[in-house]
Structure 1
Amino acid sequence: MTFTRTQNRAANELRPVRLTRNFTVHAEGSVLVEFGDTRVLCTASVEDRVPPFLKGKGEGWVTAEY
Structure 2
Amino acid sequence: MSLPISERDFADYLTLTVETVSCAVSQLHSDGVLELQRQYSTRVMVLGRQRLARSGLQS
Q: What range describes the TM-score normalised by the shorter chain of this pair?
A: under 0.3
What TM-score comes out, normalization by structure 2 length? 0.26
Give the helix-richer structure, 1 or 2. 2
Give the strand-richer structure, 1 or 2. 1
Q: Which has the larger radius of gyration?
A: 1
Question: Which structure is richer in relative contact order (CA contacts within 8 A, separation 6 or more)?
Answer: 2
What TM-score comes out, normalization by structure 1 length? 0.24
